[in-house]
Amino acid sequence: IIICGPPAGGKGTQCELIAQTYGVVHISTGDLLREETRKGTTLGKQAGTFMASGALVPDALMTQLVAARLKEDDVVAKGWLLDGFPRTRNQALNLQEMGILPSAVLVLEVPDEVVQNRIEGRRTDPATGKVYHLTFNPPPAGDAELLKRLEQRKDDTREAMVTRLATYNKNVTDILSFYT
């Protein structure tokens, strides 16, 4: 399954529900990239530069990362749900050339204004990777330790969001036409 939608469009939230319901492995390319960046790997260092500015990580780097994850035992056994990949027609073509075709492609349509408002309150727990929104999906009340460690991602700024939305809106039509 592939799920498409704008940044902060609810893909992660929907993916959690789909993964729980169908038992597939949720693969968030954003999470994979942030993990590589956190580890300080060569790929992470290369990707970090693009991510901080809101730009897409080059197709070759993304394809390498996703292809490796799709070969892992849990994914082979349970199936996959790709969140945030492919983001370009070339990435979709790369998947097809590797023999990787989705059974379904889901598209979340969210107005740009809603996405921009969501970004301002989004926070991530670096210990668990769980994403919260200070208004719409707040962390559990009374958990002071959790509140202290919540972080706003570097690419969750209005400036980066303008770039991310423009890139998404430019590429989504190509992705949808590739799979229809």
Respond yes or no: is residue 123 known to be catalytic.
no
Respond yes or no: is residue 11 known to be catalytic.
yes
| Cis ω for the linkage preceding 86 (within 30 of 0) | yes
**Which among 34, 118, 123, 164 is annotated as catalytic?**
164
Tell the burial category of 125 from Cβ atoms under 10 Å away from its Cβ (0-12, 13-18, 19+). middle
**Which among 34, 69, 118, 122 is annotated as catalytic?**
122
Respond yes or no: is residue 164 known to be catalytic.
yes
Respond yes or no: is residue 78 known to be catalytic.
no
Respond yes or no: is residue 153 known to be catalytic.
yes
**Which among 34, 87, 118, 123 is annotated as catalytic?**
87
**Which among 89, 130, 149, 153 is annotated as catalytic?**
153
**Which among 11, 69, 118, 123 is annotated as catalytic?**
11
The encoded tokens of residue 140 equal: 């559990």
Q: Which residues are catalytic, by number?
A: 11, 87, 122, 153, 164
